[in-house]
Amino acid sequence: MIAQKSPDNIFTEHASVFILAFGMVAAKITNKLVIAHMTKAEMEYLDWSLLGPALLFLNQYFNCIVPEIWLLWFTLAWSTQDLLRYCAQVCFEICQHLRIDLFRIPYSAKVSSTSSVGSQINFGGEKNGSTSHRKSKSKLH
């Protein structure tokens, strides 16, 4: 409806910006729907990503007080940052729950000082052929 009733024809003149802006909104809502389904949590009806399309609608309703192309670019910027913020938040929560580091490789300075080459390589905490069990609370890497 926003594209059809636009006096500036923003859908035909700026189709890529229009599709990207509304695609970001749809991507955020889809991500929230998937997360809500996986966690069996409730999903709120209103979302901040819908602010941009609501502003475009209200601007047309009040006879285009603000130029539509400005609101369209605002919608694209707002929905993009909102989607990125939401995805980052979900990644950090998953990493925190699983007790893993995100984009970090832990450094361990353990070097074995034995003379044979085969026993110098330390895979998974093995020392000179003996195996040791890892603690259950160790971080997954």
Q: Measured between alpha carbons, how far is 49 from 131 in angstroms, rounded to an integer?
A: 52
Residue 112, pLDDT score:
61
pLDDT digits (tens, 9 = 90+) for 89-126: 999 999 999 999 888 877 777 766 555 555 455 555 54
Which residue stretches of the chain are H helix? Answer: 10-13, 15-39, 51-61, 68-98, 117-120
pLDDT in tens, 2-47: 888 888 888 888 999 999 999 999 999 999 999 999 999 998 888 9
Closest CA to 50 of 68, 27, 34: 27
d(CA 8, CA 24): 22
Model pTM?
0.69
Give 36-85 pLDDT, tens digit per residue: 999 999 988 889 999 999 999 999 999 889 999 999 999 999 999 999 99
Tokens matching residue 4? 């059809």
pLDDT at 138: 46
